[in-house]
């Protein structure tokens, strides 16, 4: 009885020590971010998770929904989440004992003519027992392992969120490129019709002796150049449509023509405070989860330097007759304590610990870089947004001026006050102005 109490006391002390865990506890690194972005922003409003709906374009909404549902990279990321969740369940299970059931039955016959004959040569033997084993988590190895697996599971989720955000941005950008090409195709067709009319007019003027043959050749060349530009734009549109098909996982995708000029200009999203980037950006959260996982691995490596204590036990029955297997006389049991202590490994375990520390330093640098990149990305976007309105207004003014210039050039040429080259220059300026506005 005294020995049992001593054993129980030792077990209680060992389990009490299990509240300790070697290795560093994670603390978020300090990020030297400014209090505000370089541009004046609204720091209170929240960003809509489905920001693309501000364009109020049903076709764009359908494309992004399809991409999030069918894109192969998204599907791979979802499978990675399933894998990391399974790894986490396995790591959690190591905190508890493993219980197994072993059962066997056999029938054998021994010789009756040997030196030691037996009266019953045929024998039966039945055995069934539960066995359990449990490694006490005194130094927190299992808990650090669970912490590592949990951080990896979170990292896989943030990776998927970052991928989905990037995918939505790529689909939106590609779709807007498609609509820009649609607008340019419309402008190119209008320009082609206008230049064909100019060619027809110039040909008639040439026959009447008013325009020179050089004017006719210049007008013909102008028509050919616009035709080439139109074919190039149509080719670019087809390739852009194929890119959208790949992004959305719809290889037979066909999108009707539209015009980017019909899309409403979305409101400028609030940037928030720089400190909010740590919570808002999934790529930053992923980098932090990877850092947490690396931090936990240090604890796992350090726990391997300490002795490991395991408990084993079994309980069951063994008899020659199956009916007697559960009787008290057939009962069997065993119990024990195991100790594993590394003594001389010539620095292997300490080297592995140093490896995990070095890996943690690498991921710390990666986390800090992701925070810095996020800040620069937002600040650059704010700068572009602030200047884009002025640039658009200037581009629209250029279009209006180029349109007036082109009309005046046609009037002057038709009245015989200028050469056709002046019309060509005005048409080129007009097309360039529209290109700048659409871009």
The pLDDT, as a whole number, for residue 41 is 53
Number of domains in the chain: 1
Residue 111 located in a structural domain:
no
Instruction: Report whether pLDDT(126) > 60.
Output: yes
Which CATH number belongs to the domain containing residue 351 in this structure?
A: 1.20.1600.10
Instruction: Answer whether 436's CB lies under 8 Å from 400's CB.
Output: no
Residue 119 located in a structural domain:
no
Residue 212 located in a structural domain:
yes
Measured from the Cβ of residue 415, the count of other Cβ atoms closer than 10 Å reads 8
Instruction: Report whether pLDDT(348) > 60.
Output: yes
Q: Which residue has the higher pLDDT, 244 or 3?
A: 244
Residue 289 located in a structural domain:
yes
Q: pLDDT averaged over the chain? A: 84
The pLDDT, as a whole number, for residue 303 is 94
Instruction: Answer whether 424's CB lies under 8 Å from 222's CB.
Output: yes
The pLDDT, as a whole number, for residue 270 is 59
The pLDDT, as a whole number, for residue 16 is 47
Sign of the four-CA dihedral 90, 91, 96, 98? positive
Q: Which residue has the higher pLDDT, 330 or 340?
A: 340
Structural domain boundaries enclosing 73: 2-105+124-438
Question: What percent of the chain lies above the pLDDT cut of 90?
Answer: 42
- Average pLDDT value for residue range 386-396: 79
The pLDDT, as a whole number, for residue 293 is 97
The pLDDT, as a whole number, for residue 265 is 67
Residue 113 located in a structural domain:
no
- Kind plus residue range of the DSSP H or E element containing 240: helix 213-248
- pLDDT tens, residue by residue, 235-246: 999 999 999 999
Query: What does the alpha-carbon distance between residue 255 and residue 241 come to, in Å, rounded to a whole number?
Result: 7
The pLDDT, as a whole number, for residue 200 is 86
- pLDDT tens, residue by residue, 8-47: 444 444 454 445 789 999 999 987 776 665 555 554 545 5
Residue 75 located in a structural domain:
yes
State CA 424 to chain mean position distance: 50
Residue 12 located in a structural domain:
yes
- Of 19-28, 113-122, 170-179, 395-404, the range with the highest mean pLDDT is 170-179
- Kind plus residue range of the DSSP H or E element containing 108: strand 98-109
Sign of the four-CA dihedral 153, 159, 162, 167? negative
H-assigned helices in 71-209: 72-93, 141-207
Residue 211 located in a structural domain:
yes
The pLDDT, as a whole number, for residue 12 is 46
Q: Which residue has the higher pLDDT, 152 or 107?
A: 152
pTM exceeding 0.85: no
């Amino acid at each position: 009885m005294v020995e049992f109490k001593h054993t129980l006391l030792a077990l209680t002390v060992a389990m009490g020590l299990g509240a300790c865990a070697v290795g560093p506890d994670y603390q978020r690194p300090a990020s030297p971010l400014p209090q505000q972005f370089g541009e004046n922003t609204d720091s209170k409003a929240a960003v809509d998770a489905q920001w693309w709906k501000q364009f109020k374009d049903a076709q764009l909404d359908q494309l992004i929904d399809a991409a999030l549902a069918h894109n192969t990279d998204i599907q791979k990321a979802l499978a990675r989440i399933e894998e990391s969740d399974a790894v986490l369940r396995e790591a959690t299970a190591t905190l508890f004992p493993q219980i197994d059931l072993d059962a066997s039955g056999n029938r054998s016959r021994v010789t009756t003519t040997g030196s030691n004959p037996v009266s019953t040569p045929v024998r039966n033997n039945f055995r069934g027992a539960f066995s359990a084993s449990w490694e006490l988590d005194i130094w927190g190895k299992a808990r650090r392992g669970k912490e590592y697996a949990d951080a990896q599971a979170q990292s896989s989720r943030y990776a998927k969120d970052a991928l989905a955000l990037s995918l939505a941005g790529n689909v939106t950008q590609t779709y807007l490129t498609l609509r820009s090409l649609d607008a340019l195709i419309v402008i190119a067709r209008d320009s082609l019709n206008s230049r064909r009319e100019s060619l027809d007019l110039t040909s008639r003027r040439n026959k009447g002796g008013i325009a020179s043959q050089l004017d006719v050749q210049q007008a013909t060349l102008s028509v050919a150049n616009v035709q080439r530009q139109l074919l190039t734009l149509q080719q670019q549109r087809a390739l852009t449509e194929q890119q959208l098909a790949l992004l959305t996982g719809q290889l037979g995708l066909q999108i009707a023509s539209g015009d980017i000029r019909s899309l409403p200009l979305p409101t400028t999203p609030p940037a928030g405070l720089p400190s909010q980037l740590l919570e808002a950006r999934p790529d930053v959260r992923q980098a932090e989860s990877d850092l947490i996982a690396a931090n936990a691995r240090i604890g796992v490596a350090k726990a391997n330097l300490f002795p490991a204590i395991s408990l084993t036990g079994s309980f069951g029955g063994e008899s020659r007759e199956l009916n007697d297997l559960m009787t008290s006389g057939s009962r069997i049991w065993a119990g024990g304590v195991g100790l594993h202590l590394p003594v001389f490994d010539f620095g292997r375990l300490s080297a592995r610990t140093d490896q995990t520390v070095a890996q943690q330093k690498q991921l710390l640098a990666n986390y800090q870089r992701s925070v810095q990149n996020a800040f620069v990305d937002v600040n650059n976007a704010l700068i572009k947004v602030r200047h884009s309105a002025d640039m658009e207004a200037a581009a629209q003014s250029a279009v209006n001026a180029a349109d007036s210039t082109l009309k005046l050039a046609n009037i002057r040429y038709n009245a015989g006050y200028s050469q056709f080259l002046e019309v060509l220059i005005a048409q080129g300026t007009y097309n360039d102005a529209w290109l700048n506005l659409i871009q």
